Amino acid sequence: MKTSATANKPHVVIAGGGSAGWMTAAALVKKLGPLLHITLIESSDIPTIGVGEATIPPLRVFHQLLGIDEATFMRETSATFKLGIEFANFGQLHDRYIHSFGQTGQSSWLAEFIHFWREGVDRGVAADYGSYCLELEAAKANKFFTSGQNSPLNYAYHLDAGAYASFLKKLAIEAGVTHITDTIEQVKLDDQGNIDCLQLANSAPVQGDLFIDCTGFRSRLIGEALSVDYEDWSHWLFCNRALAVQTALTPPLKPYTVATAHSAGWRWEIPLQHRMGNGFVYCSQFLDDSDAYEQFSQSLPSAPLTEIRDLRFNTGRRLKAWHKNCVAIGLSSGFVEPMESTSLHLIVMGITRLMQLFPYVKSDQTQTLQDEYNAQTKVELERIRDFIVLHYHVTKRDDSAFWQACQGMSIPDSLSERIALFEEHGHAFQKHSELFRVDSWSQVMLGQGILPKSWHPAAKMMSDDQLTMALRKGQHEIQQRVAQLPDHQAFIQHYCAATNTSL
């Protein structure tokens, strides 16, 4: 890579702001700041997507790495706590289940809890699977409590995405990141096909050694300039449109996201301290844009506070997330729809992976680093993709052409194998470096209507009394713990109430 002379340090140039850009800048300056000069360029004329408002628990680890105080962050972003996602009308109409962040039941070294629960179902002594999970039962009761790193609950956040980007922007600039507000007019390449500089509309060209593409769906650097191809997954994930709007807050303040399926996709509700975030995801092949707008408007839980925004996308990934001297992070590297709130997580993982494989940027010998980065990114995205496809494909809904198509579509072999293993034998595995755990796969497959036909014989070794007592004890302990938790809204008022709310 060609080096620049800025303070005799390698120059990392981040193209684009928003959550992806400012998360990248904040992490790099915090963990590698003394080694680098970091510049972020964003245009005031290009709005951020700003709808990634639901997160998953690994974001807490990212915040700990950056030394972010939780209560301060939550006040600044009007955040609430999140214990999982409630899915309505996915398996079939009028069904509901919660995919929580918690561990369900107590496993043995020989078999996961679900095998003992399945034996209990067969003997008629088991309660609902979710009743053995603290986070799930706390979510249903609108309860929450944390004492910081020693929290009894595994949780994430709902947050204001625009405020989150501003929060990280302040942190990054105070730590030494150079901020340029300007429009990128041209991406210039050198003779070797690397990015040489970014030509700006009103400022001098910005040269760099490593460029980070955080330009969103447009993918100005890795897609447009470096011509890295895009692998389209729309034959598995049909939805290609989304509408989004903010509405007035509706009580109670739920500690979970709500995802409700409709005839051609699904819609979300995300409670913040000061408002609701709402979205309507659909496939334009099965629902006309004007009809989608009408359906979404009629389904809103409260009065709109903003104009409805129209978003268009194709699910898939760049064949390379790191090519030449450019790394794509966020939407520029690929997109898997937000059903399981993975957007910010993929940004975090892209940043973390880059920092762990960070090159000595004065060297041109980075191909092996690029290959490893791209291989890890590919596997991670494909496993998340499979988990999302599961929600669509495993359904008994046949009331619309969309759901009939989801049932009948061919799915990746990797997902077919997982479904068959669970359906036939009750096994769900978390593979190496995989995001979603055994509990996640089990909760969603059960919630979508798959009941294992057989299960581990270890469960059959328990007598009726032993199995009944064990299951009742587990359920009773969960009930006792939930009863002791404070109300979610009351806890937020005490712990991290934002100044711009009436909580």
Catalytic residue list? 82
Going by C-alpha positions, the residue among 426, 425, 467, 475 that lies closest to residue 123 is 467
Helical spans, DSSP H, in 146-288: 161-174
**Residue 137 CB coordination number (10 Å):** 24
Which letter does DSSP use for residue 221 in this model? I
Q: What beta strand segments (E) does 238-373 contain? A: 241-247, 257-262, 265-271, 276-282, 309-312, 316-318, 322-323, 326-328, 334-335
Radius of gyration of the chain (CA): 24
**Residue 64 CB coordination number (10 Å):** 11
Helical spans, DSSP H, in 146-216: 161-174
Instruction: For residue 280, report the phi and psi dihedrals to the nearest 5 degrees.
Output: -135, 105
- The partner residues of 230 in beta bridges, in order of sequence, read 318
Alpha carbon distances (Å) from 203 to 192, 194, 200, 218, 221: 25, 21, 5, 22, 18
| DSSP three-state, residue 20 | helix
Amino acid at residue number 146: T
How far apart are the C-alpha atoms of 18 and 169, rounded to whole Å? 9
Cα-based angle 243, 81, 315 (whole degrees, multiple of 5)? 35
How far apart are the C-alpha atoms of 220 and 207, rounded to whole Å? 16
Instruction: For residue 373, report the phi and psi dihedrals to the nearest 5 degrees.
Output: -60, -45
| DSSP three-state, residue 493 | helix
Contact at 8 Å (CB) between 406 and 391?
A: no
How far apart are the C-alpha atoms of 103 and 373, rounded to whole Å? 30
Beta-carbon contacts of 352 under 8 Å, excluding residues fewer than 6 positions away, are 27, 62
Contact at 8 Å (CB) between 78 and 164?
A: no
Report the sign of the C-alpha dihedral through residues 455, 460, 465, 466, in that order. Answer: negative
| DSSP three-state, residue 178 | strand
252 cis-preceded (ω within 30 degrees of 0): yes
Going by C-alpha positions, the residue among 102, 149, 57 that lies closest to residue 478 is 102
Beta-carbon contacts of 106 under 8 Å, excluding residues fewer than 6 positions away, are 113, 474
Please name the residue that has the structure tokens 């009065």.
303
Please name the residue that has the structure tokens 């009028």.
94
What phi-psi label fits residue 407: left (phi over 0), alpha (psi between -120 and 50 degrees) or beta?
A: alpha
